[in-house]
Each structure stands twice: as structure tokens, then as C-alpha cells.
Structure 1
Amino acid sequence: MKTLAKTFLPDTQVDRLRDARLLLRESKAARIVTSAQTGALRFASLTKSFASVYYSLLSGQFRREERAVLAGLAKYHAELQDDDANVFLMRRNVHRLEKGLLMRPRRPVFAKDYILETVNVYRKIVSEPARSQESSAESLRWGYDVLSEYFAVTAADPVIDHARDVFEKCPPAPGAGSNVKRIPYQRALEEQPVTYEQLEQLSLKRRSVRWFEQKPVPRDLLDKAFHIANLSPSACNRQPFRFLVFDDPEMVQEVASLPGGTIGWKHNIPAMVVVLGSLDAFYSEKDRHVIYIDGSLASMSFSYALETLGLSSCICNWPDIEAHEARAQKVLGLQPYERPIFFMAVGYPDPDAMVAYSQKRPLDVMRQYNTEIASSERASA
């Protein structure tokens, strides 16, 4: 409706319609409608069944997410069924082995239920690197070193012994045999490379910047920041996200028009980054939120790294609006299992521009210690 009004009506009429709509919100009729909507929401939220009926019949808000999750599951399991090299499975299982290796006390036999699966997917990737984007020497060496350490420390067992035989017949990973092993290790804790005060100052300096100098953003600096982002925590080290970077001026404007929060300042954005989640990284619906968790962790590291390089950013919210999602899928050429997490404007900050103060919530409100909890028995009752 907004688009139609702007297309066929003069600006003055559009402004009057908007003002009338805003005033209507304060009317008695509007309050009655709002009260009825609130009552319906309260009723639907009483049970899981009511909520399911509400979102099945009265709201299609989650339909795109539901389809994306199913498309991701279908791709994940199809790769296993077709005997393909599933990258995310290898990353997850190798990391699970790492956690078993660092346990105290370490069990003499562990990972029996997935070690053969891990060796087989590693074998497929190292034997035919072209089948997988995960054929980098670093990742394959990590897999090789962790598997080698696992077989070196586990006790004799029929399942493990069979998996060991399969592993020993695999082609060597690039760089295998190096003196530097990519396995669990003890960190050096004597000195901290960054003080608390330095981190606090960086956090205070980082603001959402919407006005930039009109000059290109060097790709080597962006890649330095992405390197830091790549070191961020990730659930089972799957890293189910990627960054799409646009620095061509025409493409920047096209991409910058996707999130609604760039109206009024998108014309001065030098580069846009799309943080994209990939739901084909998971074997179950239970992990569907990991793309948002891991993608956000990496993006925060990216944002801080930009500040150390003289660059700034603004994270643009990406609310789940179907029309916007459909347009983003078309413009960005996304697969059904891929979802934008949010967008980021990046550039050299304009020294004469202002930034929002953005007062944060009080610490005592944001943080609570030892809130009342229920025992396991009470919680399951």
C-alpha cells in the first residue's frame, strides 16, 4: 500500500495519509482493535498447541524460516545419502574429537559412535578435494592431526581399530608430518596481549557510523578484519556463515537498499557486507538458531577489527519481513537454505559527522547473579 500511494499520489497527499494513520492509532476504535489483538495473542500463547494453530492458520510469519530449515536438512542428508563429502559433518566431528582429547580425566575409549563416520568423511574430502570447498591445506591438516592424535591415545577396540585401518589408508593431508600439530594444547597465560582498559576504550570508540568519507575501502584491510572474524567462537567449529562483500558502487547501492534502516544515508556507503547463514550445516532442526549466534559472534569481532584499522561500520537490522526476504533472495541469488542475518555498512568514518550516544542499560539490570532456579526434579515435573 505504501508503494502504491507513493506511485500514484503527490508527496503532500502521501504525507497527509501518513499523518492520518498516525492520529488514528490514538482513536478509541484503534484501542479496541489493539486490545482484541492482545487478547488473541495471550490466548494463543497459553499452550504449544494453541501457538501452533495460530501460526498455521492466522500468521505465516515463520513459513520462510520453516522452508529454509527443511531445505538445509534436505541438502545435508542428501549429501550423506549420495556419499558426498559433507564439510560441516567433518568439522563438527573433528571438533568433538578435540573435546574428547582435552577431557580430564580422558577416557581410554571414546567417540565410538561417530569415529568411523568421521574417518569416512575425511577420506572423501582428502581423496577428492575438488568435491568440497573445504579442501584447504589448513583444514585438512587439522583433521589429519586430530585424527592421528586420537588413534595414538585411544585403547584397543574393534570399532576404533577398524576406523584406524581406514584412516591409515587415506592419502596424506597437505603438510602432514609437520612439527607443529593442530591438536588441543595449553595456552600461555603469563601475559595478556590486550588489557581490560584497552578493550574498554576500543568498545567505547566503536559506534554505529552512518557517514563515511567518499573513498574506496582497501580489500586487504577488509581481509585483515575478516581474519579476526574467522577466529571467533563457533558451535562445534562448523562456522555456518559467510560474508558477501560489495564494493562496486552500483552494487553497493543495490544491496544497501535491501535493509530498511539505510534510508536517508545509503548514498554515502562505500562498501556493504551481507552476513549470510547457511542452514545446510545441521542435521537437525534443533541447531537452526546457530547461524544467528555464530554469525553475530564473528560480526562483532569483525566490527572491532575494523576500528583498529581506521575503518568503521554500522550493523543494519534485518527484520523478518517476507517482501524484503524475497527481494534479498533474488538480488543476492540465495539458495533456499541460506538466510541473511544482517547487513553491515563499512567505510572510513567522516571525521565531521556525528554518531548516536546510545546510552546502554544499567549493569545491575543487564546482569544478575544466581537467580532462583528449579532443581532438575522440579523442572521435569
Structure 2
Amino acid sequence: MITTLKRVAKNLLAVPAVRKVYEGGTRVTLNLFGSHRLPATAYSVPGLLTFNREQYAVLSGRRAYYRALSTSRPTHVELRRNIHRLEKGMSMQPRRPVFARDYIAETVDYYRVAVAGQAGDRSIEGDELLWAREVLTEYFEIVPDGDPAVDRARSRFAAIPVPDGETNGVPMRPYPQRDIKPSDITYDQLLALAKQRRSIRWFEQRPVPRDLIDKALLVGRESPTACNRLPYEFLVFDDPEMVRKVASIPFGTAGYHHQIPTVIVVKGNLDNYFSPRDRHAIYIDSALATMGFLYALETLGLSSSVINWPDFEPLEMKMAKTLGLAPHERVICLIAVGYADRDALVASSPKKSLDVLRRFNVAR
């Protein structure tokens, strides 16, 4: 049905007279409703469904966030956020003698729930719990006695059983920047890698080793992420039937989806947030992780193409049904991965000049 409607619309817009009327009407509409927030609000009423899915997803995510607070999960984003806040407080120059008094009790409560989950064998990640324990221990060591809120939290923390696991020399507390070992990668090497990475759409018909996907993901997950929450998942499909089904959904794969060896759906999870102000973080953090992932694939001999995912209701519904997504799980993009067909053509795609992309000290 969707394909038929697309074909009809495309054929109609190919008629010059129809195209001219369509573009003229679009310009009049935009001049009228795009001039101020008030007419834009009026315009949004008949087009409610265009933005309703995002609103529903945000509300559903916040609902799931609060429902999960008293349960144990593999990752506790509320604990991750607060532990990250403590680390930032520890790293301030100069560091205040007492800080985090407004959320330290909450953080200890989050930690207690997480420890109880490990004791109940409900599979919380060990490193996440170790990190929380180490940072909280450091916090109570450096913040002096005497503040009632901090002292109450200190007593409650001391009463929580020490969870299993050891750091084994991995830094789990803030550490000096000088302790970071510099890499041997030069700027010229990095620039060469960026130029090497092209969008590849034609692949050899051989499977992609899963261990190489995992290696590339180890690089992607090191990307910056707000409050260390990593609000995304990479859904990897390498079964030919599933690849065909998933890769054929986006508009942008027409004509080549049939020969993609592996397709990955990058999914953002809005249940990582209690506030709608963070609703766009899934797109930023996922994009940052995706770029690191793509560069890592290149070093492993694999090529890729990012498949655009427009916010189009019929496709959103089809993908959600195909993957069994919850309302608060949003598709960010898709990635085709495989070994490049060396004889296939690659788009040159020259980039914009720096003079277009960059400005210094200019505001308008």
C-alpha cells in the first residue's frame, strides 16, 4: 500500500504543471505558518500525527523510567547519571569541600537497589556496580564529616553489603589526565581514515564475522554520552531473511537492499530519561557512537553505509512491528555492513569547504 502511494505521488509530481502548483502552494503555506510560533501552532493541529509519535515516545519513556526505579535491570541509568555527576564534582577546580548534598541520599538509594539486584542474581552489569561503589567510596573519603545530609548518606552507604567483583587495576575513580596513555595515531592517519571511509552500498556475498562487529562496537561505545548513560542499542541482523525484511523497509535502500550481508538498526531508548528536556540526547549520543563504530569497521577491513531514517509514520509503524519495539524505543538510523565489492562505483561526494562550515566569534 505504501509503495503504491509513493509511486502515484512520484508520478504526479513528475508532471511539470502539478509540480509547479505543489511548490507554489508549499511556499505560500511556509510563508504564512513559518513566520511565527503562533501560526505554527495552528498549523500543527491538523498535522498532529506528524509530531504525536515523538510526544508519545517521550511520555512512554518517562513512564518506563519511573516504573523501573524499584526494580533491578542489567543497567541502572539513574545510578549511572548520579555517579557521573559525583565524578564531575570531584574533578572541579577548585573542588568544593562539600558538594552533591542535594542528591547524595538519592544516589545511595539507587546504589542500594542495584546491590540488592546483584544479590538476587538479576544480572546487573558488574562493572557498573563496581564503578558506583568506587566513586561513592571516594566521595565519602574526601567529603568531611559534619554535614547532616552527607553524614546520613554516609551511614546508609556503610550499611550496604559490599558487592562481588574487583577492579583489577582498571581505574574506577577520577584520575589525573596525565595517566591517560597517548595513542600512536597521528592527525594525518586519522584524516586518511576519514577519507577512506566512504558510503559503500555494494558488497561481496560473504558473511560478516560477529567478532569484528563487536570489536567495532568497543570503539563506538567510547564516544561521549550525556552523563555516561549510553541510551542506545545496536540491533544486528545477519540472518539473510531478517536482513532482507529489515533492510527493505527504509526508502533509501531501494535497488540494493537485496545484497546487504549485515544490517544494523541503531535504536535510541527514551526510558533513560526522567525529563522531556533530554529527548534529543538519544540522537546525539547514538550518532557519536555510530561514527566511532564506522571508523572502527574500516580498520577491520569492513565497509558500511549509513541508511537515513526519516520520521515517516507508515515506516515507523512497520519497523516497530517488525522489531517489536516499545513506544519509547526510536530508530535513529540503519547501517549496512559488509566487505566492499571492489568493482562497484562509489559516489565522490565532495564536502563543503571550511569557510562554509566554520565561523569564529560570529553570532547572528
TM-score by length of 1: 0.88
Instruction: Name the counterpart of 1:197.
Output: 188
SS in 2 for 1:207: coil
Residue 40 of structure 2 is matched in structure 1 by 51
C-alpha RMSD of matched pairs (Å): 2.3
Q: Choose 49-58 or 341-350, whichever is displaced more.
A: 49-58
Kept in 2: contact 1:277–1:339 (CA 8 A): yes
Contact 1:85 1:125 (C-alpha < 8 Å) held by counterparts: yes
Amino acid paired to 1:84: T
Structure-2 change in CA distance of 1:130 and 1:233 (3 Å): farther
Match in the other structure for 1:98:
87
Q: Which moved more, 1:294-303 or 1:170-179?
A: 170-179
Shift of 1:75: 1.3
Q: Residues 142-181 of structure 1 correspond to what in structure 2 (within 5 A)?
A: 142-156=131-145, 157-176=147-166, 180-181=170-171
Is the 2:33–2:39 contact (alpha carbons within 8 Å) kept by the matching residues of 1?
no
Q: Which amino acid aligns with 2:117?
A: E
CA offset digits 1:129-151 (Å, max 9, x no partner): 38897712111111111111001
Kindly indicate whether the alpha-carbon contact (under 8 Å) linking 2:197 and 2:295 is maintained by their aligned counterparts in 1. yes
Which residue number in structure 1 is paired with residue 25 of structure 2? 33
Pair 66,226 (structure 1): closer, same or farther in 2 beyond 3 Å: same
Contact 1:217–1:348 at 8 Å: present in 2 too? yes
Unaligned runs of 5+ in 1: 7-13, 374-381
Q: Secondary structure at the match of 2:14?
A: helix
Q: CA, structure 1 residues 29+291, in 2 after alignment: closer, same or farther (shift >3 Å)?
A: closer
- d(CA) in 1 for partners of 2:343 and 2:220? 29
Of 101, 104, 108, which aligns to 2:97? 108
CA contact (8 A) 1:92 1:237 kept: yes
- Counterpart CA distance in 1 for 2:216 and 2:204 is 19
- Tell whether the 8 Å contact from 2:238 to 2:261 is kept in structure 1 after alignment: yes
Q: Structure 1 residue 74: deviation in Å?
A: 1.1
Question: Contact conserved, 1:278 with 1:338, CA < 8 A, in 2?
Answer: yes
SS at match of 1:61: helix
> Matched residue of 1:320: which SS?
coil
Q: Distance in 1 between matches of 2:10 and 2:71?
A: 55
- Contact in 1 for aligned 2:301/2:339 (Cα 8 Å): yes
The structure 2 residue matched to 1:187, chosen from 164, 177, 196, is: 177
Given the two structures, how large is their TM-score scaled by the length of structure 2?
0.92
Change (3 A) 1:28 1:138: closer
Aligned residue pairs total: 360
Equivalent-residue separation in structure 1 for 2:291 and 2:78 (angstroms):
26
* 3-state SS of paired residue (1:297): helix
> d(CA) in 2 for partners of 1:341 and 1:320?
9
Which stretch shows the higher mean deviation, 127-136 or 345-354? Answer: 127-136
Q: Is the 8 A contact 1:144 1:176 kept in 2?
A: no
AA in 2 matched with 1:143: A
Structure 2 vs 1, CA of residues 31 and 84 (structure 1 numbering), >3 Å: closer, same or farther?
A: closer
Q: Distance in 1 between matches of 2:141 and 2:282?
A: 34
| Conserved? CA contact 1:245–1:273, under 8 Å | yes
Kindly indicate whether the alpha-carbon contact (under 8 Å) linking 1:85 and 1:132 is maintained by their aligned counterparts in 2: no
Counterpart in 2 of 1:10? none
Say if 1:171 and 1:101 are closer, same or farther in 2 by CA, change over 3 A: same
Deviations 1:167-201 (A, max 9, x none): 11222133247554411112346844210000000
The one of 71, 74, 93 aligned to 1:84:
71
- Whole-angstrom distance in 1 between the partners of 2:317 and 2:43: 23
CA distance in 2, matches of 1:236, 1:204: 31
Residues 287-302 of structure 1 mapped to structure 2, 5 A cutoff: 287-302=278-293
Quote the sequence identity (%).
47
Please show how residues 14-25 of structure 1 align to structure 2 within 5 Å. Answer: 18-24=10-16
Instruction: State the alpha-carbon separation in 1 of the partners of residues 195 and 307 from structure 2.
Output: 19
Paired residues for 1:162-311 under 5 Å: 162-176=152-166, 180-188=170-178, 191-311=182-302
Residues 246-271 of structure 1 deviation map (CA, whole Å, 9 limit, x = unaligned): 00000000010121111101111000
- Displacement of 1:5: 6.7
Unmatched segments (≥5 aa) in structure 2: none
- In the TM superposition, residue 127 of structure 1 has moved relative to its aligned partner by 1.6
Question: Offset at 1:218?
Answer: 0.4
Q: Give the conservation status (yes or no) of the 8 Å contact 1:145–1:181.
A: no
